[in-house]
Amino acid sequence: MRIRGVKPFASAVGLLLGLLCAVEAAKGWTGPPAEATDRVKLDPLAVREICGFRIHGQNVPFEAVVLDKSTGEGVIRAKDKLDCELQKEHTFTIQAYDCGEGPDGGNMKKSHKATVHIQVNDMNEYSPVFKEKSYKATVIEGKKYDSILKVEAVDADCSFQFSQICSYEIVTPDVPFTIDKDGNIKNTEKLNYSKERMYKLTVTSYDCGKNRASEDVLVKINIKPTCKPSWQGFNKRIEYEPGTGSLALFPSMHLETCEEPITSIQVSIMLETNHIGKGCDRDTYSEKSLHKLCGASAGTVELLPTPSNSANWTVGLPTDNGHDSDQVFEFNGTQAIKVPEGVVSTTLKEPFTISVWMRHGPGGREKETILCNSDKTEMNRHHYSLYVHNCRLVLLLRQEPTESENYKPAEFHWKLDQVCDKEWHHYVLNIEFPAVTLFVDGATFEPFLVTEDYPLHASKIETQLTIGACWQGGSALMTQYFRGNLAGLMIRSGKLENKKVIDCLYTCKEGLDVQLPEEVASAVKVEFNPNQSSLTLEGDDIESFEKVMQHISYLNSRQFPTPGIRHLRVSTTVKCFNEETCISVPDSEGYVMVLQPEEPKISLSGIDHFARGAAEFESTEGVTLFPELRIVSTITREVEVEVEAETEAGGEDDPTVQETVVSEEIMHNLDTCEVTVVGDELNGDHESTHPSTSTKLQYILYIQHLAECLSLSTGVNTMANYEQVLHLIRYRNWHTEALFDRKFKLVCSELNGRYISNEFKVEVNVIHTANPMDHANNAMVQPQFINQVQHASVDLSGHNLANMHQASVVPSAATIVIVVCVSFLVFMIILGVFRIRAAHQGTLRDQENGKENEMDWDDSALTITVNPMETYEDQHSSEEEGDEEEEDSEDGEEEDDITSAESDSSEDEGGEQEDQQGSSRQQQLEWDDSTY
């Protein structure tokens, strides 16, 4: 039998058993026993009443109840609520029993057991539920899928009708997707990554009883562009801050192979720096300084120096118009320069070396001369030259006249692609006749052709050395012009360059670097080119390969690198198992942006105005120009600092961050200092600037004298060493009768002129001494109240005596004015004596002498005679003595009358100069030239 079960209430279920139960009972009834028939007659048709039913089974949720005892009708009902989801069917046995005999119901009879089957009917009480909270899928654009993903919902109802999901539905409108009854989602059109990168869909479901899902589900479909093998995670712009060491270029880079099986990978990484200087970032020191840094010995002559007062023959050549990178010179086929006589010896000693940086191309049919030494007049003989012809580099070396007139090697030819590729290359020729070795970018090349010629005939014709063309002595014209760029042209006589020095000159200060992890060091092969501007990687394991890529970095070791862009290119070649379907990885391109470095400010300071006696200028040593010179370099930068600010409420400190500008001193090198005369040029007959001969200048490598300039170059050296050398520079004049002052200017620079100091100007005054007998006539006509002034040799620091003169006669009209001035002078002397007595607690005589040493003089109306008794050395020795010794040394000198103007000057400036310099200079008067 079937019982329709309702989950909320099932106890009212009933079943009439009636005749069924009676029949079942009758079937089990057999009548009384045969032996009783004699005692009780019973009607054979009589049936006893049914008193109850008994259900057999464990945990049967049903009970049977008698409705009519006479008919045996009863009902089976549930004891509690039935749930189809817990149990769909119930099976048990039931047995009926009568009321028995007699009042006590004895001799009760039971029927046989009958089996009851009860099936619980289901109701659609549950709604569908999705198995996942959300669904995700990724598809590639431009492709139609049969199924992108499948969603699935379930229903908890027990019956087949109500537990089945009959349909799914996409709730989101206007999307290019559809879903079938099984939950498969597919696109209805080809998807476009550029149009939409991700779709979000809301999906619901229905069971067969039309119940909708209790909660809809979210489906995300990501759109990927068409799979193209390429490097992923590559940043096109990479910023490099100077002074930060190495910078990783590909920290998160990986290779997308579109699931193709890969057998090997080869990657070439190029750092393009051809637009910077001579092909990459190198120190911009002069070539001579670079040779020193690389360990080359002395004897190198620079033929293409940066234009300066001491080397001006390159002034007319176009340059790169900047100092951030190396100084290069352009030759356009119409320009050439003549090297002055004396720069290079006429006959080069063997062996010798020629080195040059060159960028040239394409080649032409005509010869293009780099360097040429030819007859200056009359003839056109080429003694030696270096030129380019048809992408060949040729060295011509004609031998000088000898006793034998045999053929000798004269021309050496190298056929090189580098000569015409429009890129910078470094060429070094080591010449040890008859052998010539060429180094190009550090690699050795032997000449493919050597031709011979007779030695030159003997002649007394002078030669002319030219760059960029060849001098034709007979026609006084240039020929065989060069077209390209040159830099760093050097000749080194007497010694060859070794390989270590050549490699050092060529090596860049920037490049690629890689620090391989141990676990992948053997899995990937790494090779660099000589200047580390490119590297090649080769391997077969993608994971190891990507780790190596992530450890490749850019490094620039310059303290002040050249700012700007360095282009970066990654080229990849991949080999697969099936060569026909092997993928092609496109080049990845980006750039490294080197930021502007913080530029240093080089400051020169010291004593910029002083006077010395004429005897010191005329001495062998002369006068020190920069006795207290100080060279300091600073940079200014912005820093973030925390500022404590009080809050209005609680008064507590509230730290805030603000930017402030600070200046700090840094240490770096200098490479040149120039001392230049301001005004008339030095007269070589009686003037010179020179270093001290009493001290060994261990740092000086090169000093060049011109009429207006002394160029001091120690090469690349510290500022402290340059200070030490400049302290020893002296000026000498052995004809000072007509000289009253001289002005000089000092300028120092770093990196071949990239950073230049301020112009430090020094004015030197000459104090002339005079013999009293030479002025006898003047003394006779001087008023008697004007006393002749006599002093020891003085140092008039900070004053100009250029207008110094002798006034032999005071006009009578000014007598009254002078009397008033003398009266005021007496007052000032008394005041000065009082001040000196209070300061030194000395005697009146010592105070007056000390006062006399401090007084400044105005020579506008007086004749001054200077005592030349004391030497420059005595003056400096007296500077180290104490105040009491200074006073004692002047004991016995007469006190001279001075004007009021001089007294004011002595009080205001004399003491101030002493405070600034730290000690008073014995017997030196300070002069004020502000009114001259």
Q: Which of 309-313, 387-391, 463-467, 622-626 has the lowest mean pLDDT?
A: 309-313
pLDDT band (50, 70, 90) for residue 652: low
The answer to whether residue 173 scores a pLDDT higher than 60 is yes
* Cα 328 to Cα 484: distance, rounded to the nearest angstrom: 10
Residue partners of 292: CB distance under 8 A and separation at least 6: 701, 715, 716
- For residue 8, say if its preceding peptide bond is cis, omega within 30 degrees of 0: no
Task: Identify the pLDDT of residue 187.
Answer: 93
Contact (CB, 8 A) for 589 and 725? no
Return the closest-CA partner of residue 285 out of 330, 331, 243, 325.
325
Residue 80 and residue 10: Cα distance in Å, rounded?
7
As given in the structure block, the two tokens for residue 862 are 């007086």
CA–CA dist 289, 750 (Å, integer):
11
- CA pair distance 491, 350, nearest whole angstrom: 12
Distance CA 423, CA 362 (A): 11
- The percent of residues above 90 in pLDDT, for the chain, comes to 24
Facing residues of 690 across strands? 730
Q: Are 287-506 and 602-635+666-767 the same fold in CATH?
A: no
Q: How far apart are CA 774 and CA 798, in angstroms?
A: 29
Q: Which residues contact 5 (CB under 8 A, 6 or more apart)?
A: 13, 78, 82, 83, 84, 120, 121
What mean pLDDT do residues 591-600 have? 92
Q: List the beta bridge partners of residue 643.
A: 656
Domain spanning 230-273+511-594, CATH architecture: Sandwich (2.60)
Q: Give per-residue burial for 898-931: e unless 16+ CB within 10 Å, then b.
A: bbbbbbbbbbebbeebbeeeeebbbbbbbbbbee
Give the DSSP H or E segment for 489. strand 483-493
Task: Give the mean model confidence (pLDDT) for residues 157-180.
Answer: 87
Structure confidence by residue, pLDDT tens digits, 791-817? 333 333 333 333 333 333 334 445 666
Helix 844-854 and helix 815-840: axis angle, to 10°? 120
Pairing of strands 165-170, 198-207: antiparallel
Q: What is the pLDDT of residue 278?
A: 81
Q: Which residues contact 437 (CB under 8 A, 6 or more apart)?
A: 429, 430, 444, 446
Rounded Cα–Cα distance for residues 486 and 386 (Å): 13
Alpha carbons 398 and 379: distance in angstroms, whole number: 15
pLDDT at 565: 93
Pick the CATH number of 129-224 from 3.90.1170.50, 3.40.50.920, 2.60.40.60, 2.40.50.100: 2.60.40.60
C-alpha span between 368 and 47 (Å, rounded): 145
Note if the bond before 128 is cis, omega within 30 degrees. Answer: no
Domain layout of the chain by residue ranges: 50-119, 129-224, 230-273+511-594, 287-506, 602-635+666-767
Statement: residue 345 has pLDDT above 80: no
CA–CA separation, 803 and 806 (whole Å): 10
Residues 713, 285 contacting (CB under 8 angstroms): no
Report yes or no: 268 and 556 within 8 Å, Cβ to Cβ.
no
Write the secondary structure of 448-475 as one string of H (helix), E (strand) and C (coil). CEEEEECCCCCCCCCEEEEECCEEECCC
Residue 851 banded pLDDT, cuts 50, 70, 90: very low
**Strand-pair category, 134-140 with 217-224:** parallel
Task: Inform me whether the pLDDT recorded for 413 exceeds 70.
Answer: yes
Rounded CA separation 682/29 (Å): 158
pLDDT tier, 655 (very low <50, low <70, confident <90, very high otherwise):
low
371, 385 in Cβ contact below 8 A?
A: yes
Specify the pLDDT at position 717: 85
pLDDT in tens, 684-731: 788 888 776 555 454 454 555 555 566 666 678 889 888 888 888 888
What is the mean predicted confidence (pLDDT) over 387-394?
A: 92
Helical H segments across 265-370, by residue range: 287-293
Pick from 139, 487, 437: nearest CA to 317: 487
Task: Please state, in angstroms and rounded to a whole number, the distance separating the CA atoms of residues 552 and 250.
Answer: 7
User: Span 287-506: which CATH code?
Assistant: 2.60.120.200
Give tens-digit pLDDT for 287-339. Answer: 777 887 887 767 788 898 877 777 788 888 887 655 566 678 899 888 899 99
For the sheet with 601-605, list strands across it: 601-605, 630-646, 653-665
With the CA atoms of 237, 243, 246 and 247 taken in that order, what torsion angle do they form, in degrees rounded to the nearest 10?
-20
| Cis bond before residue 563 (omega within 30° of 0) | no
Classify the phi-psi angles of 824: left when phi > 0, otherwise alpha if psi is within -120 to 50, otherwise beta.
Answer: alpha
List helix spans (H) across 160-294: 160-163, 287-293
Q: Check whether 858 has a pLDDT greater than 50.
A: no
Q: Which residue has the higher pLDDT, 346 or 271?
A: 271
How do 129-130 and 564-576 pair as beta strands? Answer: unpaired
Tell me the β-bridge partners of 630: 605
Amino acid at residue number 624: T
Tokens matching residue 331? 């030759």
Least confident of 215-229, 599-613, 696-710: 696-710
Q: Residue 2 is encoded by which pair of tokens?
A: 């079937």
Give me the pLDDT at residue 86, please: 75
pLDDT, tens digit, 9 for 90 and up, residues 230-253: 898 989 999 999 989 999 999 999
Give me 176's structure tokens: 């290019």
In terms of C-beta density within 10 A (0-12 exposed, 13-18 middle, 19 or more buried), how is residue 740 classed? Answer: middle
CA–CA distance, 801 with 766 (Å, rounded to integer): 7
Least confidently predicted of 434-443, 519-528, 573-582: 573-582
Q: Using one digit for the tens of pLDDT, what is the confidence trace for 68-80? A: 888 888 888 888 7
pLDDT digits (tens, 9 = 90+) for 824-846: 777 778 777 666 665 555 443 44
Rounded Cα gap, residues 613 and 766, in angstroms: 6
Range from 360-374, 485-499, 810-824, 859-873 carrying the lowest mean pLDDT:
859-873
Percent of the chain scored above 70 by pLDDT? 71
Say how far apart CA 73 and CA 882 lie, in whole Å: 147
Any idea which architecture 50-119 has in CATH? Sandwich (2.60)
Average pLDDT over residues 32-36: 33
What distance in Å separates the CA atoms of residue 205 and residue 154, rounded to the nearest whole number? 9
Q: What is the mean pLDDT of residues 203-213?
A: 89
Say which DSSP state 34 is in: G
What's the average model confidence in pLDDT over 904-931? 39
The pLDDT value given to residue 78: 83
CATH class of 602-635+666-767: mainly beta
Task: Convert the pLDDT of each residue in 859-896 to its tens digit.
Answer: 433 334 344 434 333 444 444 444 444 444 344 343 34
Q: How confident is the model at residue 185 (pLDDT cuts 50, 70, 90)?
A: very high
| pLDDT beyond 80 at 667 | yes
Strand arrangement, sheet containing 552-556? 247-248, 552-556, 510-514
Mean of the pLDDT values across residues 98-121?
Answer: 79
Mean pLDDT of the chain: 75
- The β-bridge partners of 68 are 73
- Read off the pTM: 0.57
Rounded to whole angstroms, the Cα distance separating 149 from 131 reads 14
According to the model, what pLDDT value does residue 227 have? 82
Please tell me which residue, 269 or 830, carries the higher pLDDT value: 269
Interior CA angle at 32 toward 31 and 36, to 5°?
155
- CB contact at 8 A, 755 and 599: yes
Cα angle 825, 827, 829 (rounded to 5 degrees) comes to 70
- Confirm if 17 and 87 have CB atoms less than 8 A apart: no
- Given this model, what pLDDT does residue 673 score? 87
User: For residue 714, what pLDDT is reported?
Assistant: 63
- For residue 422, how many other CB atoms are within 10 A of its CB? 11
Span 448-487, pLDDT tens digits: 898 888 777 777 788 889 999 998 876 768 889 999 999 8
pLDDT on residue 467: 93
What are the structure tokens assigned to 382, written together? 């080429």
For residue 14, which of 104, 76, 106 has the smallest C-alpha distance? 76
